[in-house]
Structure 1
Amino acid sequence: MSLPQPVPPSWKDLGKSSNDLLGKDFPISNVTLEVKTLTPSNVAFKVGGARDAKSSLIGGDIEAKFFNKPHGLVFTQSWTTSNILKTQVEIDNQIAKGVKLDLQTALTPNTGAKSALFTTTYKQPGLHTRAFLDVFKGPTFTADTVIGRDGFLVGAEASYNVTEGKITKYATAIGYSAPEYAVTLHGLGNLSTFAASYYHRVNPDVEAGAKAIYDTRASPSGNVGLEVGAKVYLDAAAFVKAKINNTGILALGYTQSLRPGVRASFGLALDTQRLNDPATQGAHKVGAGFTFDG
């Protein structure tokens, strides 16, 4: 008798453990600030800003999110300093169990640019599938599906341009996920780029991971990318991360919870091949990020 199957991750979350380990908590080349608050009437506000160290440009956004849990409704409205108005409406488990409807729109008033993406998600034990319709681009219909059983995962994605009447993009992936480790293989970009990722929780305090990318379209000298990293918890409130890639870029990150809801992160990137090069301006980067979650 087989065990009950969990709901597998979505297509975009295949390899998420490795991607988060190697991609998050490295605030490099900018300074960011994020403030989150929640009102008694179930409205969540988020204000974020970032200053690019190279260009000194500052960008930010303000977001308000309203939750109506009895009706499975989430309404989100945001406005960026680039004058982009974004709206998102989500309805979950109301049409049928496991079905979620999502409409995301964006409007730039000064240029008239607009976008609208309608998403339908259906998930149940052993299956996670999504369908997207990009109304103003194409229109383009995209679908992806992930099937999981006993830890094994198989997924595929394809996009169809309705106007041109042809498939414009396709990809596939296979993987295996266990509580302590996960392995994922992707064939992306119409099977022109292949990626392999590995994640391992060595013990409760140590995580390790690696990712390799092979691009058949790049030159032989630059068609392979490799990155390895690790995360170590110093205590319940702090951890450090480190990663290095095959071009010699070493990145370090340190995150500290100063108090409940207040977190600070610091990042440093070093070009290890140019440590003794006098012309190292721009080769090494530093950054920081601060989060206040009320």
Structure 2
Amino acid sequence: MSLPQPVPPSWKDLGKSSNDLLTKDYPFFGTSLEVKTRTPSGVAFKVAGLRDSKSQAINGDIEAKYSDPKNGLVFTETWTTSNILKSQLELENYLAKGLKLDFSTSLVPDSGSKSALVNLSYKQSGVHTRGALDVFKGPTFTTDAVFGRDGFLFGAEAAYNVTEGKISRYAAAIGYNAPEYAVTVHGLNNLNTFSASYYHRVSPDVEAGAKAVYDSKSTTSGVALEVGTKAYLDSAAFVKAKINNAGVLALGYTQTLRPGVKASFGLALDTQRLNDIAPVGPAHKVGASFTFEV
């Protein structure tokens, strides 16, 4: 008798370990600040801002989130400096175990532009399926499914334009997840773009990963390749480094100063243009991120 299979990741989380390793904790596009607080009644507030080093523009948002874990309810309201109002209602395990309903809307009062997205996901042993209806765009219905067994993962996604009556996008993926490593291959953009990612926890203190992307429709030939690593210096600090085939080297350092206070610093260097010493310019970038959580 076979053992129960774990719930596989969702379609968007296939290859997440490698993507997180290569994209997160590199704040070299500017300076950002994030402050999180929580009230005794279960309301969490988050204020976030980013000063872009290239345009010098400052963008931010304020978010309020109410959670009722007993009933599987999460309600989030966000207001951005671009005057965009966002709302999200999540209900998980309320109608049935493993079923989650997510209703997201956005409104721009100045222009009257609006969007509404209805998401439905269902996960059980060995299967994770999702469906989404974009009410105002198309409308378009998107569905995806991931099946897992003994570490092997098989996934597919398709988008159907209701008005035009045709499939507008499809993709597929295959992968293998083990406790210490993961491999994922995607065929995206109607199987015109292919990506392969690899993640390996070398030891409790060291992680490594790589990603290769080939676009058959791109005007530039060849494969885009990126490799990176992460090393924990101690329980409160780690460093990250990555480099791509264009010669751009990125470095990141994150330090937990005290419980709830974290600082991250990032640097990107174009190794083919090391003579360009401008710290914030077309060749090299530097930035920092600070997070305060009460």
> Normalising by the residue count of structure 1, what TM-score does the alignment of the two structures yield?
0.98
- SS of equivalent to 1:7: coil
Alignment map for 1:107-146 (pairs within 5 Å) = 107-146=107-146
**2:263 aligned partner:** 264
Where in structure 2 are the equivalents of 1:157-168 lying within 5 Å? 157-168=157-168
The aligned counterpart of 1:212 is: 212
Q: Deviations over 1:48-95 (max 9, x none)?
A: 000001111000000000011222111100000000000000111111
CA RMSD, Structure 1 to Structure 2 (Å)? 1.1
Where does 1:80-229 land on structure 2 (aligned, <5 Å)?
Answer: 80-221=80-221, 223-229=222-228
Consecutive unaligned residues of structure 2, counting only runs of 5 or more, are none
Cα-to-partner distance string for 1:192-229 (whole Å, 9 max, x where unaligned): 000000000000000000000000011343x4200000
Distance 1:261 1:3 in 2: 40
State the Cα distance separating 1:279 from its structure 2 match.
Answer: 8.6
Secondary structure at 1:5 match in 2? coil
Code of the residue aligned with 2:51 in structure 1: it is R
Deviation at 1:136, TM superposition (A): 0.2
Between 274-283 and 194-203, the greater mean CA deviation after superposition: 274-283
- Return the alpha-carbon distance in structure 2 between the equivalents of residues 95 and 35 of structure 1: 34
Deviation string 1:135-183 (CA, Å, 9 cap, x unpaired) is 0000000000000000000000000000000000000000000010000
Q: Secondary structure at the match of 1:250?
A: strand
> Structure 1 stretches of 5 or more lacking a match?
none
Give the superposition deviation at 1:277.
Answer: 5.1
Q: Identity over aligned residues, as a percent?
A: 72
What is the SS of the residue equivalent to 2:22? helix
Q: Is the 8 A contact 2:198 2:211 kept in 1?
A: yes
> Which residue is 1:234 aligned to?
233
Residue correspondence of structure 1 range 271-286 to structure 2 within 5 A: 271-276=270-275, 281-286=281-286
1:214-257 Cα offsets, whole Å, 9 max, x none, are 00011343x42000000000000000000000000000000000
Identify the residue that residue 36 of structure 2 maps to in structure 1. Answer: 36
Distance 2:137 2:214 in 1: 29
Match of 2:8 in 1: 8
**Residues 117-148 of structure 1, C-alpha deviation per residue, up to 9 Å, x if partnerless?**
00000000100000000000000000000000
CA distance in 1, matches of 2:75, 2:62: 14
| Matched residues, number | 293
Deviations for 1:247-283, whole angstroms, at most 9, x for unmatched residues?
A: 0000000000000010000000000011135799421
Quote the Cα distance in structure 2 between the aligned partners of 1:11 and 1:185: 12
Task: Give 1:79's aligned residue.
Answer: 79
TM-score of the pair, normalised by structure 2 = 0.98
| Residue type at the aligned position of 1:95 | L
- 3-state SS, counterpart of residue 163 of structure 1: coil
How far apart, in 2, do the equivalents of 1:32 and 1:98 lie? 36
